[in-house]
Structure 1
Amino acid sequence: MTDRLDDPQVYIPDLFATHARHYPGKDAVICDGERRSWGDFVGNINRVANHLIENGMQKGDRVAVMMGNSIEMLECLFGVVRAGGCAVPLSGLLTADQLESLLSDCDAVAAFVSAEFEERVTPLASKLPGIRTWIAHGFAAEGWGKVADIYAASPSTIPDIRHALTDVFNIIYSSGTTGLPKGIVQTHRARLHWAFSNAVEMGFTSDSRALTTTPLYSNGTWLMMLPILFAGGTLHVMPTFDAVAFLKTVEREKITHTFMVPAQCLMVLERPELDGADLSSLRTVLTAGSPLRRDTKRDVLERISPGLFEMYGFSEGFASMLKPHQHAEKFDTVGTPVLGFEVRILDDEGNELPPGEPGEIAGYGAGIMSEYNKRDLQTAELIWRDERGRTFIRSGDIGVMDEDGFLKIVDRKKDMIISGGFNVFPTDVEAIVGQHPDVMDVAVIGVPHPKWGESCLALVIPVTGRNPEPEAIRDWANGRLAKTQRLVGIELREAFPRNALGKVIKKDLRAPYWKDAAI
């Protein structure tokens, strides 16, 4: 029988191994003063993988990773993938009951746990018999293994595991801004697309130095983490975000790429140290997670970097991006679909809308999820098929496509306020209120109104050191708003409830006002 060549594919763990083979002494990851070379980084990934295999993990098994930002968190996560497993990073914002629920939902057979999770997770071990292997980092518990022991004892050789593009890479649980978290299942195909499309779009190379500012368990953080490691550059991880530490790190480490959510941009812009900071190394500043107010965007471009990439992304798997050279002509948009994606605008009946008409955003491409874990009905509800029968994913967001194919975000469907029969989009109102000199951040929600059904209420975080009169801001804003948009009031807040990527959880803000509503 004639021998035939393989059908070779590039997989992320194999690509990391190539970086380690050719550049073993180069920094791969730096976090909180600790530096890990590519050789050591990949060696530890292999050690984790070999340990899991030796302890009975089978290909496709789900392994939870409950760890704070650290190099070890990345080594454990990619070790799971290297072993042929499905990594399930879980949020540090969850309660013990929520963690228990998600551990059951994903059918985890093993779990890595760092000290930040110890108090919540250790009591769960007796409640979750399906998890056969518990591994601690930064603490000790009876019957548990230790990450340090794995590094000391397990072999660093590459395990003989063959991946396929359709194998599950990870499950990322949604942030839960509109309900209970859903497990977003992503394959090797999807994660490869995530890595190379963003590497191409944002100019990542092996010489790049990227800084992550948000939790590593969050899907948005992977916009920076995966492309830099894919390209063989150096990833800098902030354990937690601090605006002054951010400025110092960019200057000291000559950071070329970074990702910040709008709330973090506001924190940096407020710091007096910004004026004296040398941020000249920055070529790419990516912002995503929630809409960037136009006034904030202008400040970022002027005071932080002209290399601003503004992304609208849907965790389930598509995105659009506005690039630095496009701000002048398309300032109010979020650009065009990221490489490998398509976007359509739909009406309530599922008909495709022409340019200029607002509707629900739907997307298609190589980076979309394969399904929601154990939620066939909710997966099916997302699907819209185009004229070729391809399955697009509905986003639940309202947008408009212009004649040039640039996308403008209007708002979340579920956040829309219907006042007196008129649709009012909170982002439009927030854009006006945010221009007041005493307002640092604002969230507009709908509250009950006996005549109009609901009306707009603005919750405002004032600029540090100022104590404005709410009525004065309300009157100032109402003088600039359409009649249907006008505010019934302003309330001052110190902070907003947010998810891991800084997106305001508006359902939590609305809940107290609607609890006893009679309308």
Structure 2
Amino acid sequence: MDGFDQTDIVLPEIWAGHARRHPDKLAIVCEDQQLSWGGFNAAMNRLANALLRAGLRKGERVAVLCSSSIAACVAMFGVVKSGAIMVPVSGMLTAEQVATLLGDSAASFIIASADLRHLVDPIAGRLESLRPDGRIGVDFSQDDWIGLEAFAADASGDEPDVTFTSKDVFSIMYSSGTTGLPKGMVHTHGARTYFCVSNGFEMRFDGGSRGLVTTALYTAGTWLVVMPTLFNGGTLFIQSQFRPETFLQLVEAERITHTFVVPSQIQMIFAGCGFEANDLSSLKMMLSAGSPLRPDIKARLIGIIGQKFFELYGFTEGSSTLLRPEDQAAKPLSVGTPLMGQELLAIDTEGRACSPGEAGEIVGRGPGLLREYYNKPEETRAAIWTDARGRRFIRSGDVGQFDAEGFLYILDRKKDMIITGGLNIYPADLEAVVGAHPEVLEVSVIGVEHEKWGETPVALVVLCQGADITAEALLAFANASLAKHQRLSQVTICESLPRNALGKVLKRELRAAYASARSGGAAA
């Protein structure tokens, strides 16, 4: 006899429970729109039931390409309640990059907002997996698109006839929208539930939480507030476009308790109205992630809001550390210690665990890790490190060291990744675009310091013999094919690129030379 063991805690059932217990409590607010928990759950159910009625099968992929709004939340989590796998897609990509992601995930439906449909229309005909009637507009209905309201109008608002286990797949989140081979990170319902529990516990969430997000809903950083707020039955506030003064006014007026901001947003506030003009006493947590916050700015911020500032370091695959408010003064340059239930180590080139103070590659394990990279078994295997006890850790590609008290310090960036405004940019994506020009012989893209965005990408290029293209023309050529957040700020023509004995370009030397040239006033 199996008995009564039902330990699979899944988010669709948690959300439904909040709707039953507190149907009239506010669930989501975005500017002049709002939904109660009863209304939010019913809206998710109607979409889920409409998808099932249209023939959607459990485990199919449904892409969501929406600007931040209540409708976007209904779309994302309504897809989950249908038993489908939700695939959030960045609105900052090009149409070709969107095509790559939709093709890789084999999405059968796409749900998009009107302002982003232009990324789908040119490529929809090439997507073999996309159903002929598979385009749903959250806020419009036109041509081959059916509006969300019409699609779900007569569908039931009751719970869908779908059962879940913790091993079912919740989402596939892509690390980047590349023109080559993107990596989709597969997370199960169990992993996403753990994500809510661990972050909620560590960062002071409860049923009274009022979370505010200003960054895009498709990013893992934004989910650090979205998911625990909804898991605990709190109220989520969405600012569709970040405006410093409005953000601070919203914190004060709505008594916001939790918010996520990237360093560039914090710097924008200090450069403008400042934090002092508004009453921020309701805050229990202000979280920053995505890139390091300058120590002087951090100290200034903590002096204003007090012991409420958290910093998170992690990889989207699912391992992370947290520098908690009580540790900020003693460990200002650290990224903290692992979250509840997680374990991170540094390993040397021989695969042995490093001693305190010894640098090595950061690896992590815990219940929130991805199951695999979607349809990429070789990449999945290559990312695994196994300890002496047979436990599997994921390799981060970051180099760091732990001190004697277990605090982690990052020494180098993941695979030379560039972080601009809290968004990840992979140099290889940009190098592929620049290198496609027939007059380019070699190219290397590096991140350089930027006062507002943290970092900005710069391309260092060696031209073919006899080439006469200018740096300005090459910059225009590249940026025409890049997503907004990927666009290069500068192209510099070089005679050669520094390499090691194996022929690998030494990006660290390029960054140092570029920084030296800028500080000396010379052209890079």
**Residue 117 (structure 2) aligns with:** 118
**Residue 300 (structure 1) aligns with:** 301
**Residue 17 (structure 1) aligns with:** 16
CA shift in 2, pair 1:275/1:126, >3 Å? same
**Residue 423 (structure 1) aligns with:** none
* CA shift digits 1:363-414 (9 cap, x unpaired): 0000000111111111111111011111101111111101011111222154
Indicate whether 1:461 and 2:440 are aligned: no
Local SS of the residue matching 1:360: strand
Query: Which has the larger displacement, 153-162 or 41-50?
Result: 153-162
Question: Which of 479, 496, 499 is matched with 1:517 structurally?
Answer: 496
Question: Could you list the runs of 5+ residues in structure 2 that have no partner in the other structure?
Answer: 420-424, 428-443, 454-478, 499-524
The residue type equivalent to 1:517 in the other structure is S
The residue type equivalent to 1:223 in the other structure is L
**Residue 287 (structure 1) aligns with:** 288
* CA shift digits 1:7-61 (9 cap, x unpaired): 3422101000000001000000111221110000000000010001001111100
The residue type equivalent to 1:286 in the other structure is L
**Residue 338 (structure 2) aligns with:** 337
> C-alpha displacement at 1:193, in angstroms?
0.7
The residue type equivalent to 1:303 in the other structure is I
CA shift in 2, pair 1:337/1:97, >3 Å? same
- The residue correspondences of 1:69-88 to structure 2 (distance < 5 A) are 69-88=68-87
Cα distance in structure 2, aligned partners of 1:225 and 1:457? 30
Local SS of the residue matching 1:211: strand
**Residue 140 (structure 1) aligns with:** 141
The residue type equivalent to 2:65 in the other structure is M
**Residue 474 (structure 1) aligns with:** none
> C-alpha displacement at 1:313, in angstroms?
1.0
**Residue 42 (structure 1) aligns with:** 41
* CA shift digits 1:255-308 (9 cap, x unpaired): 000011111111112223532111111110111111122112112211344300
Local SS of the residue matching 1:275: coil
Q: Contact conserved, 1:285 with 1:305, CA < 8 A, in 2?
A: no
Cα distance in structure 2, aligned partners of 1:356 and 1:407? 10
**Residue 320 (structure 1) aligns with:** 321
Cα distance in structure 1, aligned partners of 2:250 and 2:56? 39
- The residue correspondences of 1:83-162 to structure 2 (distance < 5 A) are 83-132=82-131, 133-162=134-163
Query: Which has the larger displacement, 238-247 or 194-203?
Result: 238-247
> C-alpha displacement at 1:342, in angstroms?
0.1
Local SS of the residue matching 1:16: helix
CA shift in 2, pair 1:173/1:413, >3 Å? closer
The residue type equivalent to 1:288 in the other structure is A
Cα distance in structure 2, aligned partners of 1:384 and 1:209? 39
Indicate whether 1:365 and 2:355 are aligned: no
The residue type equivalent to 1:80 in the other structure is V
Q: Contact conserved, 2:307 with 2:326, CA < 8 A, in 1?
A: no
**Residue 245 (structure 1) aligns with:** 246
TM-score by length of 1: 0.80
Local SS of the residue matching 1:196: helix
Local SS of the residue matching 1:368: coil
Cα distance in structure 1, aligned partners of 2:72 and 2:148? 10
Q: Contact conserved, 1:384 with 1:392, CA < 8 A, in 2?
A: yes
Q: Contact conserved, 2:267 with 2:452, CA < 8 A, in 1?
A: no
Cα distance in structure 1, aligned partners of 2:2 and 2:397? 51
Q: Contact conserved, 1:269 with 1:299, CA < 8 A, in 2?
A: no
CA shift in 2, pair 1:49/1:458, >3 Å? closer
CA shift in 2, pair 1:35/1:388, >3 Å? same
> C-alpha displacement at 1:462, in angstroms?
7.7
- The residue correspondences of 1:432-447 to structure 2 (distance < 5 A) are none
Indicate whether 1:219 and 2:198 are aligned: no
Q: Contact conserved, 1:300 with 1:306, CA < 8 A, in 2?
A: no
**Residue 505 (structure 2) aligns with:** none
- In percent, how many aligned pairs have the same letter? 42
CA shift in 2, pair 1:324/1:130, >3 Å? same
Cα distance in structure 2, aligned partners of 1:348 and 1:513? 34
**Residue 438 (structure 1) aligns with:** none
Local SS of the residue matching 2:330: helix
**Residue 30 (structure 1) aligns with:** 29
**Residue 257 (structure 1) aligns with:** 258
CA shift in 2, pair 1:516/1:236, >3 Å? farther
Q: How many residues align?
A: 444
CA shift in 2, pair 1:161/1:462, >3 Å? closer
Cα distance in structure 2, aligned partners of 1:287 and 1:462? 15
Q: Contact conserved, 1:256 with 1:281, CA < 8 A, in 2?
A: yes
> C-alpha displacement at 1:518, in angstroms?
4.9
Local SS of the residue matching 2:356: coil
The residue type equivalent to 2:108 in the other structure is V
TM-score by length of 2: 0.80
Cα distance in structure 1, aligned partners of 2:496 and 2:120? 38
The residue type equivalent to 2:79 in the other structure is V
* CA shift digits 1:326-360 (9 cap, x unpaired): 12222221111001100000112222110001111
